[in-house]
Amino acid sequence: MITLGLAIGLSVFQEVWVTATIPAMPASKALEKLGSQYHLTLTTSPQTADDVLVFRFNKVGISEVFKKIAEADDATWKKEDEFSYRLIRTSDQQRALREKAFNLSVQQISRALQKKRDEIKAAPAWNAQAAEALAAKVATHLKSFNPQSQGGDWYQRASQLSNQAPIGKMVNGIVASMDPRELAGLPAGTKVVWSTNPTPMQRPMPREATALIEQYIREEGDWAAAVDKWQLKAPTVGNTTYWVGGFGDFQGIGNIKIATVILTTMPALHNSYLSFELSSYDEKGKRISQTNVGLADQYGIYNDLMKPVELKPGEKVLTLEGDAKQVGDVILSMRKGTVAGLPTDLTARIADTVNNEPLNLMVGPLLIQSAEIRNVNLAAHLSDDQVMTGMVVSMAKMGVDRYLSALGTLGTEISIKDGWLSVKPSNPVPSPEEQVDRRELGKFLARSTNARSLSVDEQAYFALKLPDPQVNQLPQMFQQLVRPKRDPTYYNRDLLRFYGLLTSSQKSQMQNGGLACGSLTREEAGYLGRMVFGQNGFLQYQPRPGKDGRIDDGNWDLYYNGIMREQTVALPNGLPPQALIKLDVDNSSIVMSGQKDNARFFQPGQEMDPNTLAWNKYGQEHPEIFPWMADEVSRTDLTRLTYGKRLKLTFTVHFTPELSLIQTLDDKSATDFQPVTLDTLPDDFKQKFLAAYNDYVKNYANAKPGQFNSANRNTNIPPR
């Protein structure tokens, strides 16, 4: 044998030729396993211990093995003694890697912005003729509207058409003018708002927005004329009017006086994939227009990967084997609308994430198989978001090139050269909020296999211990595997985390007069702020009666359809310190409706107190009055009812006497609920239900068809 010195700073010793395949596992275990085969002590530092590594070496010199491991993990070997080495990542390396990941995100966003700018330049000139040609296409598209269709193709086409209109040109122009470094630095899972008249909670709109808004106003004149000529109207079925992409309901696009334009986004896993919503308002805060636009399309890329592609002559197809094959079959069954459960022993192995690394279920074996097909060595550092690529393989036949391309869409660096397949994440140093603790994940999955639903306290615990699904989807994806019958109990994750942090004293104060927002800890206030100002934040406005007892609801439209609907406008300075948080605890009986689950949609069972049950029964009996009750998709199933107890926790944050936030959690288990019918309800519950039903009969005795429209406000409509 030849004596070689390791180029990575190790001492000179007799070269060893390594042949080994190490499946995906934490670096601490992978290196221990590799070292034991060659009488070396290989350890990790806290910075590298949890990195998931996978290797395939075929007669490779150990010096080359050490070099490739360090390169794959973006780390450095530190000599402990003659036969002992530690894999470390220095603070300088970590800083350089974070900077590298940020710059890569900037590059990806810059390319997406340039693509949008190129599309804008290539778009035909806008004039009266172009407006009429677009109106003709829209008129044809409107004729094909079907409210019962569950697919998104119709709305996707409507969005494509509206992007050709002045509003689409405006939003594309504003997004294309944005700073890629600003977009790359946006925090994942947090809504960001830009405005032409920014409040302290908002960011200023790009300077280019002013000219684009003025152009939009000029061009809307031609569009308004075309709409009038072609008599374009939003499709109306019964008394329900459906918005059409950025066109809205084709109303109010004539003499426009825009006072404020607001743009929002909420970054998810990768900031290079962003979806924006733009809204414009007049001087009184009335919403004039609203539309959405995407910057790159992660899901579109995935859909393209899953389309059938003819393989090259002689190209081998990657296959799932063993446990991965069974999991792939379950994924396919979910996609087809049927649910095939996993064997008990496999479910147990998946849940044991301490001894069975989740990424070894699909990603690790597929990379080893790719290396074998190409007859190359493999050194790979895996990341949690790569788990999605295994699911792609379960849905579409693909060779090595296509699979590695799928990995590349997730920000993975891949190279095949000089006999090596090297794979590593673009950001090997994720924040603590992005990482999944394997022990906590194991607890979560093991608990999820239990038939009893997770209690609120358990959900709060795991919400604090596991990443947000917007940042890391691995826990939720694996929960679906061990519990394929989807759990209908899911709440605002920020609310769960907020609740999980509260002390007994704080809860007591909330139930007895209220707890001031100003007294919350920084972490508690952070989660409450995300609930209020997040993508799904919804503030409730209830005007107070005047001295004569009458309610002046002149501001109603501003809060529900206008500019005050944007939380950073309604609460321009953030959470008021004096705002009170109150907690109502309701331990009562309810009825649960049956779940609806097929290939196209899923509707969990609805919780109903006596009044809600009465309304659903009465509304379904009178679809001529309440046309939305004829919609099979959204109509509550009253044929499969169960009855039981639930603990309902209602949090109400009172910002002003008129403005509040209401969020609820409840504790119940489907295993504790017993089947009932409307005729066999327990006596006390049944009496309240019948009394409420009779009230609806009286209150709507004189109601006429067309009086109630779910697309327009009417204060007499019962809760849907």
pLDDT digits (tens, 9 = 90+) for 210-259: 999 999 988 888 998 999 999 999 888 766 778 888 887 787 666 678 89
Residue 363 lies in a domain: yes
Model confidence band, residue 10 (pLDDT cutoffs 50, 70, 90): very low
Three-state secondary structure readout of 296-318:
CCHHHHHHHHHCCCCCCCCCCCC
- Classify each residue of 204-239 as buried b or exposed e, where b means 16 or more C-beta atoms within 10 Å of its C-beta: ebbeebeebbeebbebbbbbbebbeebebebbeebb
184 and 57 within one domain: no
Residue 456 lies in a domain: no
Contact 42, 87 (CB under 8 A): yes
pTM score: 0.85
Q: What is the pLDDT of residues 127-159, one digit of tens each?
A: 999 999 999 999 999 999 887 665 568 888 888
Element (H, E) at 611: helix 610-621
319 and 215 within one domain: no
Could you say which DSSP state residue 247 is in?
A: G
Q: Show the tokens assigned to 425.
A: 């994440």
- Final residue of a domain: which of 266, 296, 326? 296
The reported pLDDT for the residue numbered 713 is 38
627 and 579 within one domain: yes
Q: What is the pLDDT of residues 444-483, one digit of tens each?
A: 999 988 878 888 999 999 999 999 887 888 998 898 888 7
Task: Find tokens 């001087």 and name the residue.
Answer: 283
Q: What is the C-alpha to C-alpha distance for residues 568 and 563, in angstroms, rounded to an integer?
A: 10
Model confidence band, residue 3 (pLDDT cutoffs 50, 70, 90): very low
- Classify each residue of 552-563 as buried b or exposed e, where b means 16 or more C-beta atoms within 10 Å of its C-beta: eeeebbbbeebb
Model confidence band, residue 8 (pLDDT cutoffs 50, 70, 90): very low
357 and 208 within one domain: no
Residue 434 lies in a domain: no
623 and 686 within one domain: yes
395, amino acid identity = M
The answer to which of 297-306, 397-406, 565-574, 640-649 has the lowest mean pLDDT is 297-306
273 and 138 within one domain: yes
Could you say which DSSP state residue 544 is in?
A: P
Model confidence band, residue 12 (pLDDT cutoffs 50, 70, 90): very low
Question: What percent of the chain is predicted at pLDDT more than 70?
Answer: 87
The reported pLDDT for the residue numbered 339 is 61
DSSP characters over 46-104: TTTTT-EEEEEEEEEEHHHHHHHHHHHTT-EEEEEETTEEEEE--HHHHHHHHHHHHHH
416 bridge partner residues: 421
Mean pLDDT for the stretch of residues 91-119 = 92
293 bridge partner residues: 276
The reported pLDDT for the residue numbered 492 is 83
Listed residue (521, 523, 517, 470) closest to 493, CA to CA: 470
CATH of the domain at 28: 3.55.50.30
Contact 696, 615 (CB under 8 A): yes
Contact 261, 279 (CB under 8 A): yes
Residue 44 lies in a domain: yes
Element (H, E) at 24: strand 17-26
According to DSSP, the β-strands at 76-81 and 540-541 are unpaired
Residue 151 lies in a domain: yes
The reported pLDDT for the residue numbered 253 is 62
Q: What is the pLDDT of residues 359-400, one digit of tens each?
A: 999 899 999 999 999 999 999 999 998 887 777 776 677 889
The reported pLDDT for the residue numbered 33 is 96
Residue 690 lies in a domain: yes
285 and 152 within one domain: yes
Q: What is the pLDDT of residues 483-534, one digit of tens each?
A: 766 554 556 889 999 999 999 999 999 999 999 999 999 999 999 999 999 8
* Bigger pLDDT: 670 vs 200: 200
The reported pLDDT for the residue numbered 334 is 67
Neighbour count for residue 343 (Cβ, 10 Å): 10
Contact 386, 407 (CB under 8 A): yes
The reported pLDDT for the residue numbered 108 is 86
Q: Show the tokens assigned to 468.
A: 């947000």
Instruction: Out of 248-257, 410-419, 432-441, 610-619, give the one with best mean pLDDT.
Output: 610-619
* Bigger pLDDT: 163 vs 11: 163
Q: What is the C-alpha to C-alpha distance for residues 55 and 106, in angstroms, rounded to an integer?
A: 31
Query: Apex CA 412: angle with CA 409 and CA 415, to 5°?
Result: 110
Q: What is the C-alpha to C-alpha distance for residues 466 and 307, in angstroms, rounded to an integer?
A: 33
Q: How many domains does the chain have?
A: 4
381 and 326 within one domain: yes
141 and 70 within one domain: no
Element (H, E) at 621: helix 610-621
Listed residue (408, 560, 549, 413) closest to 97, CA to CA: 413
412 and 339 within one domain: yes
The reported pLDDT for the residue numbered 430 is 82
154 and 28 within one domain: no
Listed residue (210, 206, 252) closest to 228, CA to CA: 252
- Final residue of a domain: which of 428, 446, 476? 428
Mean pLDDT score across all residues of the chain? 86
- Final residue of a domain: which of 272, 296, 320? 296
Model confidence band, residue 104 (pLDDT cutoffs 50, 70, 90): confident
Mean pLDDT for the stretch of residues 603-623 = 90
Q: What is the C-alpha to C-alpha distance for residues 80 and 68, in angstroms, rounded to an integer?
A: 20
pLDDT at 4 over 50: no
364 bridge partner residues: none
Rounded to a whole number, what is the distance in angstroms from the first to the last CA of the chain? 79
* Bigger pLDDT: 236 vs 21: 21
pLDDT at 591 over 80: yes
Model confidence band, residue 298 (pLDDT cutoffs 50, 70, 90): low
The reported pLDDT for the residue numbered 28 is 97
Residue 470 lies in a domain: no
pLDDT at 597 over 50: yes
The reported pLDDT for the residue numbered 308 is 62
The reported pLDDT for the residue numbered 496 is 95
The residue segments making up the domain with residue 354 are: 309-428
Task: Find tokens 């009253």 and name the residue.
Answer: 638
Q: Show the tokens assigned to 488.
A: 């209908």
Residue 491 lies in a domain: no
Q: What is the C-alpha to C-alpha distance for residues 159 and 154, in angstroms, rounded to an integer?
A: 9
The reported pLDDT for the residue numbered 719 is 44
Contact 245, 278 (CB under 8 A): no
Cα–Cα distances (Å) from 568 to 97, 198, 521, 576, in that order, read 34, 9, 21, 12
529 and 393 within one domain: no
- Classify each residue of 83-112 as buried b or exposed e, where b means 16 or more C-beta atoms within 10 Å of its C-beta: eebbbbbeeebeeebeebbbebbbebbbeb
294 bridge partner residues: 275
296, amino acid identity = A
Mean pLDDT for the stretch of residues 628-643 = 83
Q: What is the pLDDT of residues 280-290, one digit of tens each?
A: 999 999 888 88
The reported pLDDT for the residue numbered 409 is 76
According to DSSP, the β-strands at 580-594 and 659-667 are unpaired
Q: Sheet containing 274-281: which strands, arranged edge to edge? A: 203-204, 192-195, 260-265, 274-281, 287-295
pLDDT at 681 over 50: yes
